[in-house]
Amino acid sequence: MESVVSASPDVDKEMQGWEVIAHPVKKTKSALDVDVDASVDSPSVSRLQSTSCFSPFSSDGELKKPQKKTKFSNWMGEMADVIGPQRLRDIVIPGSHDCATHSIDHNSHISSSAPAFMQKACHKLGKAARAVVSKWAKAQHNDVVTQLHFGSRYLDFRVAINDYINGHDNMYTMHSMFSKCSILSVIDQIFSFVVENEKEIIIMDFQHLHGFESNDHVKLTDKILTTFNGLLCPHTRTTCVTLNELWQKNERVIVLYNNTEIAASSPFLWPRSRSINSKWFEQTNINKLMKNLHHHVQKRDVEDHRFFVAQAVITPNETMVAKSLMPAVFSTNPRNLLDAAHQLNPFVVSAMQKWRMSGLKINIVMVDAIENHPELIEEVMQMNLTVEGSTVNSSIIPFEMIDTNEEQATQPSIKRRKFLLSCVTGLTLLTLGAMLFA
């Protein structure tokens, strides 16, 4: 696994006034680790539920004050004159990868859908392994409402039946490990945001549904259809519908559901297999990921009427996780998934700027740690200001990035560091292997 280049994001001024816990910016830590207990005051507050991951109520049962908005809370409404006449497939939308994973920690349970090496480590080593795995399972700093206030409009979900929970409400969000968030409560959170922000359009993508039986699908879809009754966009509109049409009909919630048979039961559930083009590159290296992503964007079929997603996310493997255990002096490897996102996202913004200048069109760009990168939302807004039908400047299209690994390999000090790194990596992997197979 090749090293990645560190880049520390600046914290937007709009963050001031939030209840945050800020940490100093370091090469191997995120610029901001935020834990916001957020709520939104909506006309339908009775439909909100108090949960462990999000509660709109204080301990004495009183409704909390509304969550402070950011300059991105209503970005679609503020750009209505520009994006209103555009088709849904033609605008640029920022998205959150594994959006409801902020509450994953060392006490979280491992999921049966996690990679085999993670499951084995957790079963063999217990809490010590869970402390490591949880750092690579948590894809966002904050809850879904906070992400929406920071501009995200596409929400990627992994949901599984949580065997550790008894009772009716056992469908939990997850990413290798279970979060503390019931998907039923997350749906209520999203509803509160939609009601308060009358021009914002939300896409909910139920990409993974692990361990679901027919009654679980019924329970989840009933919750979706009931909560968003009157706000859902039918799949017959397709992505060719304009935003003005959606606003006129108040159809501001789109639900992609990854079960074709269940989706066929309601016109308000978009069958995911026929509605979205979302390619996963499974890369640990920034250069390789960005080159693959660029080729994916270049090859977009303009006649394809599905949503088009640019998955700008790092996928950790066994080696990457093992290297994160080493002292920072030996490795520039990210320490966790959020750290990987802070290293990657500045390159994503740079690529978006190149795509904009060259006339290449994207639709949805999905990232981790979205709320810590306001510059990405600002670039999304700039891309939406681009005049439709602009010609492609072929001189800008070739996508070049400095291969930092080859460049640094010529420096003697870096060579020594790489030698030490390889030694420590070998010892770490041997130790983990001995512990797992003992």
Lowest-confidence region among 34-43, 60-69, 211-220, 289-298: 34-43
pLDDT value at 364 more than 90: yes
Q: How far apart are CA 112 and CA 254, in angstroms?
A: 29
Domains of the chain: 13-401 (3.20.20.190)
CB atoms within 10 A of CB 259: 19
300 CB-near residues (< 8 Å, 6+ apart): 277, 308, 360, 361, 362
> Between β-strands 364-367 and 93-96, what pairing exists: parallel, antiparallel or unpaired?
parallel
CB atoms within 10 A of CB 260: 12
Which pLDDT does position 396 carry in this prediction?
42
Which pLDDT does position 261 carry in this prediction?
96
Q: 20: closest CA among 43, 37, 44?
A: 37
pTM value is: 0.78
Lookup: tokens for 231: 């706000």
CB atoms within 10 A of CB 283: 19
Each residue's pLDDT tens digit, 89-125:
999 999 999 999 999 999 998 888 877 888 888 888 8
Name which residue leads in pLDDT, 29 or 301: 301
Q: What are phi and psi of 50, to 5 degrees?
A: -85, 125
Which pLDDT does position 1 carry in this prediction?
40
Average predicted confidence (pLDDT) for the chain: 80
> Between β-strands 307-311 and 276-279, what pairing exists: parallel, antiparallel or unpaired?
parallel
Each residue's pLDDT tens digit, 276-316:
999 999 999 999 999 999 999 999 998 899 999 999 999 99
Look up tokens 């559901």; give the residue. 257
pLDDT value at 75 more than 80: yes
Look up tokens 């596409």; give the residue. 154
Task: Tell me which H or E stretch contains 367.
Answer: strand 364-367
